[in-house]
Amino acid sequence: MKRLREHAGLTARDAARLIAVDQAKMTHIEAGRISVGDATVRSLATGYGVTDHGLVDALAVMALERTVGWWRAYSDLLPRGFLDLAELEHHASYVRTVEVTQIPGLLQTEAHARSVFENGLTAELPQRELDARVAHRMERRAAFRQQSASPR
């Protein structure tokens, strides 16, 4: 939505006026921190002059499909990027990754994940955050395995 707004030559303040919210809320909407309904997506698209109805329909469906999943239990424990990654994986049709320095997160065992977080590039983590990161990684792994075993 942000790219569509920018393509239309509008500011976040202009977009906020289209849906009667303040600029800060519009920024949160565009960043995906606040979800909106399909009607809001359609209003913004109309205000941006988007004429591709297929694109607008796809964006509206995406807005409706925004899921509050298992990863939300970690919202007060982990950085936002961890939650975003789990949500993106949840909605993905497939995942391709190449990592040459370590085993990909979705393939790590609990012991390996713990070692990665204990000895990684970040500063030493408090035990609670270390345990949360490992538990989150294991749930990502389990959710991915379950999802990939189910036909789409």
Same domain, 133 and 80: yes
Q: Are 3 and 52 in contact (CB under 8 A)?
A: no
Same domain, 60 and 74: no
Same domain, 58 and 91: no
Q: Are 35 and 87 in contact (CB under 8 A)?
A: no
69 Rama class: left (phi>0) / alpha (psi -120 to 50) / beta: beta
Same domain, 74 and 143: yes
Where residue 84 falls among pLDDT bands split at 50, 70, 90?
Answer: confident
Same domain, 101 and 140: yes
Q: Which of 49, 65, 81 corresponds to the end of one domain?
A: 65
Same domain, 83 and 57: no
Q: Which of 20, 39, 65 corresponds to the end of one domain?
A: 65
Quote the pTM value: 0.47
Domain of residue 35, residue span:
2-65
Residue predicted with more confidence, 5 or 63: 5
Same domain, 86 and 53: no
The number of domains in the chain is: 2
* Beta carbons within 8 Å of 41's beta carbon, 6+ residues apart: 1, 56, 59, 60, 62, 63
Where residue 58 sits, what CATH number does that domain have?
A: 1.10.260.40
The token pair that represents 93 in the structure block: 């049709």
pLDDT at residue 152 in the model: 62
What is the distance between the alpha carbons of residues 11 and 80, in angstroms, rounded to a whole number? Answer: 25
The tens digit of pLDDT for each residue in 46-82 reads: 999 999 999 989 888 888 776 668 888 898 899 888 9
Same domain, 59 and 77: no
What is the distance between the alpha carbons of residues 4 and 101, in angstroms, rounded to a whole number? Answer: 36
Q: Are 47 and 18 in contact (CB under 8 A)?
A: yes
Same domain, 39 and 88: no
pLDDT at residue 10 in the model: 93
Q: Which of 48, 65, 82 corresponds to the end of one domain?
A: 65
Same domain, 133 and 84: yes
The tens digit of pLDDT for each residue in 95-147 reads: 888 767 778 889 999 999 999 888 876 678 899 999 999 999 999 999 998 88
pLDDT at residue 93 in the model: 80
Same domain, 56 and 76: no
What is the distance between the alpha carbons of residues 142 and 107, in angstroms, rounded to a whole number? Answer: 10
The burial class, CB within 10 Å (0-12 / 13-18 / 19+), for 27 is middle
Find where tokens 């990863």 sit. 71
Same domain, 83 and 113: yes
